[in-house]
């Protein structure tokens, strides 16, 4: 007593230390598991009483009482539950059956704590012998028997199976341990009937032994159908067969219905007797004569083999390749099998055709024209009322190739690769296209795809060679068709660019018309471009239908001087460039002359000034010595007498150069002389005496402030004072 108490104390101490307070408040027990045992063992025979003992593995204090909640589980399904305060529970399976076989567990729950035992398998062996019962052991044909099969004492899910002469005839699942069903036993012999059953236990099943065998005798009805076929031997196609279907009925006066059928085809249905005749067809005929009397169906079958008189014809076409509307020959032929029967009989051949011009030129030989489109022909051979058809022969007429076309693809450029296309609008593929040069074959291309053209690449060195090409098309056996000759414009690439300048270089003067010519060899249209050397952009671009172009500068100036060249391009796309030409624009001739004249005038002006200066110095020196009057010239007296007293000694004379306006016309320039210049002498004192000098063609106008100006003319060209132009520097 001392030791268990000590253990208990120890356990409670352990429990209170191991488990936190609250989860098992005041629980003075330790629940560690569930245990299941099967008694007397886990392999038992049927009818044994089996006990499943479920026990809690628990330590508990004396005064403590707990509630145990037991669940017995079989094959994962709850079987039984029980609540008790005892730590052990017994579940009894009295007189076990095979259906009790299974895997058992026991589950114990205490205060929400669950423990489950290990799985333990119970195997029960031994099924009871099935018991078969039959209500009759002697029946007539068509009569039903009621059979039942029982599995004594068995439980669970049971299938029953019935056998007739060891052949399984029925299998059904029963809802109890017995199954009852009805059987109709066929034929007229003896039948041995027995049954078995099967109990299904997851995951398999167990079969019982066989039941006792019961013999059932089926008595034949004294009626039967009779089938008679004549003749039976040496039957050929077309022979007439007589078939009789009747009832052999010795004992009954009942008029029974009979049926005659050939395969699935019902030929006749009559009372008592059917008399039927038909034409034999190869290779064999099967007949059935049947009668129906209540639940009884009786049959008699018979067959006859039929020989062929001739074989099904074969249809052939020749030639194998035909074109639309061509003549063709179809031959239908069949082989005779029974010469003795057909000796004096010809086979008659026919052909399906829509051709009205069909002619037959021999036995089974048909001449006709090929159809436009695919056509299915069949022929038939007929003899002795038997007609046999050939298989379908599909004639696919070809479409003859149409005359081909030839064309250059893109541009035909001399010396470069030229692509030639050749094609026909119609024709069955494949089509062979041949490139010809002057009727000589060069190369052949086979086109197999629709809408495809034959492409040939050539190169020519002479323009006219392009017209030597043609192409030919051919498909099948038909004649070859040739296209027309290739007609295409050949583009000659540009060459030999040259330029011409008018007027000639060195003769170009400002203001003149300048014309630049550019010429090339090659095929127009041509695009010409004029460039001035150093410029990126062309001065001028011209499209021309000729092989030359011009570029005009109406009034050339010195700014047009420079180097020029032209470029040209045509459809051959080769750009040619001329040599450079140098344009040098000379100054106009009148301008030159003007410059020379001006220079000369300046020089003579300077010389004159020097001369006048020197002369005036000398006059002053003379005047200082003698009287003015004594030296006056007689011509000047009339003019100067009022002023004589006012003549000053001032020797300073101012000269103004008066230049006549020049005509623009340069042609007149050379005619003028630098000496046309008119000088006006202006005296800077109002009453100064004038000095008169004769300077030849140089003209002087002496201007003073008197109201009557006086003029001295020394040159016949100047008519009056008013003609004088405004002074020009």
Query: Shortest gap between Cβ of 488 and ligand NAG (angstroms)?
Result: 17
Which residue's CB is nearer to ligand NAG, number 190 or number 546?
546
Which residue's CB is nearer to ligand NAG, number 372 or number 609?
372
Report the C-alpha gap between 353 and 376 in whole angstroms: 9
Report the C-alpha gap between 175 and 168 in whole angstroms: 21
Q: Which among 523, 520, 500 is positioned nearest to 568, based on CA atoms?
A: 520
Which residue's CB is nearer to ligand NAG, number 394 or number 633?
394
Query: Shortest gap between Cβ of 393 and ligand NAG (angstroms)?
Result: 9
Query: Shortest gap between Cβ of 591 and ligand NAG (angstroms)?
Result: 40
Report the C-alpha gap between 25 and 111 in whole angstroms: 11
In 464-608 the beta strands, taken as DSSP E runs, fall at 469-474, 481-482, 490-491, 495-502, 514-521, 526-532, 540-544, 548-553, 562-569, 576-577, 581-583
Query: Shortest gap between Cβ of 394 and ligand NAG (angstroms)?
Result: 5
Which residue's CB is nearer to ligand NAG, number 17 or number 394?
394
Which residue's CB is nearer to ligand NAG, number 204 or number 545?
545
Query: Shortest gap between Cβ of 316 and ligand NAG (angstroms)?
Result: 17
* β pairing state of 214-219 and 138-140: parallel
Which residue's CB is nearer to ligand NAG, number 165 or number 546?
546
Which residue's CB is nearer to ligand NAG, number 309 or number 330?
330
Which residue's CB is nearer to ligand NAG, number 325 or number 555?
325
Do the Cβ atoms of 260 and 288 come closer than 8 Å? Answer: yes
Report the C-alpha gap between 726 and 541 in whole angstroms: 51
Query: Shortest gap between Cβ of 320 and ligand NAG (angstroms)?
Result: 18
Query: Shortest gap between Cβ of 404 and ligand NAG (angstroms)?
Result: 29
Which residue's CB is nearer to ligand NAG, number 373 or number 629?
373
HSE-CB at 656 with a 13 A cutoff on CA atoms is 16
Report the C-alpha gap between 573 and 575 in whole angstroms: 6
Q: Which among 431, 450, 454, 424 is positioned nearest to 442, based on CA atoms?
A: 454
Query: Shortest gap between Cβ of 375 and ligand NAG (angstroms)?
Result: 6
Prior bond of 430 cis (ω within 30°): yes
Query: Shortest gap between Cβ of 386 and ligand NAG (angstroms)?
Result: 23
* β pairing state of 102-110 and 113-116: antiparallel
Dihedral sign computed on CA atoms, order 36, 41, 42, 44: negative
Residues near 273 by beta carbon (within 8 Å), at least 6 away in sequence = 244, 245, 246, 247, 258
Residue 148 to residues 118, 128, 162, 691: CA-CA distances in angstroms?
43, 16, 9, 186
Which residue's CB is nearer to ligand NAG, number 404 or number 522?
522
Query: Shortest gap between Cβ of 392 and ligand NAG (angstroms)?
Result: 5
Which residue's CB is nearer to ligand NAG, number 515 or number 544?
544
Give me 153's structure tokens: 């004492």
List residues bridging with 444 in a β-sheet.
434
Helix, strand or coil, per DSSP, at residue 116: strand
Helix, strand or coil, per DSSP, at residue 2: helix
Residues that bind ligand NAG (CB under 6 A): 374-376, 392, 394, 525, 543-545
Report the C-alpha gap between 563 and 82 in whole angstroms: 128
Q: What number of other Cβ atoms are within 10 A of residue 721's Cβ?
A: 13
Containing H/E element for 16? helix 2-18
Residues near 400 by beta carbon (within 8 Å), at least 6 away in sequence = 323, 324, 426, 427, 428, 475, 476, 478
Query: Shortest gap between Cβ of 391 and ligand NAG (angstroms)?
Result: 9
Do the Cβ atoms of 491 and 570 come closer than 8 Å? Answer: yes
Residues near 8 by beta carbon (within 8 Å), at least 6 away in sequence = 28, 59, 61
Which residue's CB is nearer to ligand NAG, number 344 or number 354?
354
Which residue's CB is nearer to ligand NAG, number 375 or number 405?
375
Which residue's CB is nearer to ligand NAG, number 142 or number 538?
538
Q: What number of other Cβ atoms are within 10 A of residue 542's Cβ?
A: 16
Query: Shortest gap between Cβ of 377 and ligand NAG (angstroms)?
Result: 9
Residues near 453 by beta carbon (within 8 Å), at least 6 away in sequence = 421, 422, 423, 447
Query: Shortest gap between Cβ of 543 and ligand NAG (angstroms)?
Result: 5
Query: Shortest gap between Cβ of 535 and ligand NAG (angstroms)?
Result: 24
Question: Rounded to the nearest 5 degrees, what angle is found at the Cα of 637, between the Cα atoms of 634 and 638?
Answer: 125
Which residue's CB is nearer to ligand NAG, number 101 or number 523?
523
Query: Shortest gap between Cβ of 408 and ligand NAG (angstroms)?
Result: 19
């Amino acid at each position: 007593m001392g030791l268990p108490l000590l253990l208990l104390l120890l356990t409670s101490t352990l429990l209170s230390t191991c488990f936190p307070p609250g989860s098992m408040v005041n629980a003075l027990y330790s629940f560690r598991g569930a245990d299941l045992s099967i008694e007397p063992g886990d392999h038992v025979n049927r009818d044994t009483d089996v006990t499943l003992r479920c026990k809690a593995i628990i330590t508990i204090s004396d005064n403590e009482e707990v509630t145990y909640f037991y669940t017995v589980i079989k094959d994962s399904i709850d079987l039984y539950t029980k609540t008790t305060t005892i730590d052990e529970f017994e579940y009894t399976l009295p007189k076990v059956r095979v259906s009790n076989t299974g895997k058992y567990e026991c589950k114990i729950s205490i205060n929400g704590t669950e423990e489950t035992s290990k799985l333990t398998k119970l195997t029960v062996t031994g099924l009871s012998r099935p018991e078969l019962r039959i209500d009759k052991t002697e029946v007539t044909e068509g009569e039903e028997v009621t059979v039942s099969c029982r599995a004594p004492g068995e439980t669970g899910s049971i299938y029953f199976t019935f056998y007739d002469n060891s052949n399984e005839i029925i299998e059904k699942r029963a809802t109890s341990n017995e199954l009852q069903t009805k059987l109709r036993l066929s034929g007229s012999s003896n039948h041995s009937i027995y049954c078995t059953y099967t109990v299904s236990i997851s995951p398999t099943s167990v079969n019982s032994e066989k039941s006792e065998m019961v013999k059932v005798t089926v008595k034949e009805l004294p009626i039967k159908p009779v089938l008679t076929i004549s003749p039976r031997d040496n039957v050929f196609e077309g022979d007439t067969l007589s078939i009789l279907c009747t009832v052999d009925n010795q004992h009954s006066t009942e008029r029974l219905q009979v049926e005659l059928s050939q395969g699935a085809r019902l030929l006749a249905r009559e009372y008592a007797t059917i008399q039927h005749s038909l034409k034999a067809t190869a290779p064999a005929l099967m007949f059935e004569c049947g009668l129906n009397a209540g639940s009884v169906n009786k049959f008699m079958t018979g067959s006859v083999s039929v020989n062929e008189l001739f074989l099904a014809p074969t249809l052939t076409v020749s030639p194998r390749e035909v074109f639309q509307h061509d003549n063709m020959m179809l031959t239908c032929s069949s082989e005779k099998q029974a010469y003795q029967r057909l000796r004096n009989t010809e086979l008659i051949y026919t052909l399906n055709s829509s051709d009205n011009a069909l002619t037959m030129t021999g036995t089974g030989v048909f001449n006709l024209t090929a159809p436009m489109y695919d056509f299915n022909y069949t022929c038939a051979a007929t003899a002795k009322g038997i007609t046999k058809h050939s298989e379908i022969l599909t004639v696919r007429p070809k479409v003859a190739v149409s005359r081909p076309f030839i064309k250059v693809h893109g541009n035909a450029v001399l010396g470069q690769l030229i692509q030639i296309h050749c094609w026909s609008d119609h024709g069955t593929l494949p089509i062979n296209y041949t490139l010809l040069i002057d009727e000589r074959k060069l190369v052949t291309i086979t086109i197999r795809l629709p809408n495809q053209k034959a492409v040939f690449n050539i190169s020519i060195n002479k323009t006219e060679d392009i017209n030597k090409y043609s192409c030919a098309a051919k498909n099948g056996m038909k004649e070859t068709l040739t296209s027309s000759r290739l007609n295409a414009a050949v583009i000659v690439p540009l060459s030999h660019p040259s330029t011409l300048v008018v007027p000639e270089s060195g003769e170009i003067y400002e203001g003149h018309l300048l014309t630049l010519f550019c010429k090339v060899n090659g095929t127009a249209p041509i695009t010409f471009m004029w460039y001035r050397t150093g410029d990126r952009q062309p001065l001028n671009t011209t499209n021309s239908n000729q092989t030359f172009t011009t570029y005009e500068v109406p009034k050339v100036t010195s700014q047009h001087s420079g180097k020029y060249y032209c470029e040209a391009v045509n459809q051959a796309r080769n750009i040619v460039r001329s040599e450079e030409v140098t344009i040098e624009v000379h100054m106009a001739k009148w301008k030159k002359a003007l410059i020379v004249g001006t220079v000369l005038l300046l020089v003579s002006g300077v010389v004159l000034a020097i001369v006048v200066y020197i002369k005036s110095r000398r006059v002053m020196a003379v005047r200082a010595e003698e009287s003015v009057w004594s030296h006056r010239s007689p011509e000047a007296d009339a003019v100067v007498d009022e002023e004589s007293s006012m003549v000053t000694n001032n020797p300073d004379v101012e000269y103004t150069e008066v230049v006549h306006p020049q005509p623009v016309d340069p042609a007149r320039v050379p005619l003028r002389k630098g000496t046309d210049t008119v000088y006006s002498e202006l005296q800077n004192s109002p009453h100064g005496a004038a000095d008169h000098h004769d300077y030849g063609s140089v003209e002087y106008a002496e201007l003073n402030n008197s109201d009557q100006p006086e003029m001295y003319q020394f040159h016949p060209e100047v008519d009056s004072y008013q003609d004088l132009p405004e002074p020009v520097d």
